[in-house]
A = this chain, B = another copy of it.
């Protein structure tokens, strides 16, 4: 079944014959309308016969016209564009707001397919029994590392986060079996972090990478949580990548929480409640 039928149609437009192309054009012109039309209405709009529309549908691996409409509807769902359009110079605020949210959603949908629960499980295995956990990140990944530290301190395991390359090197070199070092890097190609991973493993620590598959960094980790975001080329700033990394952090933190068992939830609640004093009461 086609993952996105709109893309398919525009891609295959060339290879269609005359009448079927008419159908394709009518659909592409107003896909929303197509989902609401009957085969008769659509055929008339494209000035072809009904069976032609039906044959067109089957060409795209759908059971028939109703099934085709279902696929079309899915492709149009959420107003998420069938190809997440990138931000254009003359977009207004509404336009770029929606585009960015769409792109982020699209990235997470991809992440859902990419992230391997087995690997998560392995990583949680290590984290749960760590003597000490260290989160390393540079640049845009540094806030991610800090966020992780902010989550994991709750587990009563010594946790630190460093963005200072020298501290990272020294800590990695000084680490030992039972320590877990989590390195967060979008590209996985930052030399410094690859070095750090090597150092850490040489010292006997477990290195968990949250990074791109098959990257130099990935090759030096004990466990790699693969996050394969499309390059954020649009405006030259890391956007969706770090959101995906944060989501991985959430998943790992949840995994550890669950392993700790139900009693541990009380502990978490205490931590949360400790903030009450600092706040105005909820209305």
Residues of A within 8 A of B (CB): 35-36, 66-67, 69-71, 73-80, 87, 89, 91-98, 100-102, 104-105, 108-109, 111-112, 115, 117-118, 120-121, 124, 139-140, 142-144, 146-147, 150-151, 154, 187, 189-192, 194, 214, 216, 235-237, 239, 242-243, 246-247, 250-251, 253-255, 257-258, 261-262, 265, 268-269, 271-272, 275, 278-283
Contact = CB atoms under 8 A, between A and B. Distances in A.
A205 to B, nearest CB: 22
A206 B250 CA distance: 33
B91 A258 contact: yes
Contacts of A151: 237
Shortest 3 CB-CB contacts between residues of A and residues of B: A77-B77, A94-B117, A74-B77
B97 A120 contact: yes
A73 B75 CA distance: 10
- How many monomers of this chain does the complex have? 2
Nearest to A279: B189
Given A78-B74, A112-B98, A258-B87, A246 B242 contact: yes
A282 B147 contact: no
Nearest to A239: B250
Given A236-B272, A242-B246, 9 more contacts: A36-B70, A78-B105, A89-B262, A101-B108, A101-B112, A102-B112, A190-B278, A236-B268, A237-B257
Nearest to A3: B78
A212 B214 CA distance: 41
A97 B117 contact: yes
A216 to B, nearest CB: 5
